[in-house]
Amino acid sequence: MRAVVQRCSQAKVEIDGKPVGSIAHGLCVLLGIDVEDTEADATYLCEKLIGLRIFDDENGVPNRSVADVGGRILLISQFTLMGDARKGRRPSYIAAARPETAVPLYEHCIALLKQSVPVETGVFGADMQVTLTNDGPFTILLDSRRTF
């Protein structure tokens, strides 16, 4: 499971110009689900997201989590994060989980995150437009199976 995590002052997702989800202060998270991912991967990643200390404390040091600052998470599924562009010019998405596997894991992530912070979402599989104001900028890559 892979995530691109951006600390933001605002983020929203729209479908056909209509708002689907939006947050103010918090994290915009693009989530890719691998064919081999399990609930253990989801648990690991969600625990990381909730505990990730990337918000400033009173001294301006990134020492607080999204839960600590009363932030929210906008979670958006994005199978293209599983793309492999090492060969040729067209990425291969063979590692991206099919909807019958990915949707339950995506919903599991939503449920886990909602135990700690308010969560907004996109719509799985939809053509979405995402806008955000990256605060920092501050962007972190997470992967449940490897380090960068």
Which residues have CB under 8 Å from 112's CB, separation 6+?
A: 42, 43, 46
Amino acid, res. 32: G
Helix (H, G, I), strand (E, B) or coil at 105: helix
Burial 14-26 (b: 16+ CB within 10 A, else e): eeeeeebbebebb
Amino acid, res. 70: G
> Which H or E run contains 18?
strand 18-23
Active site residues: 78-80
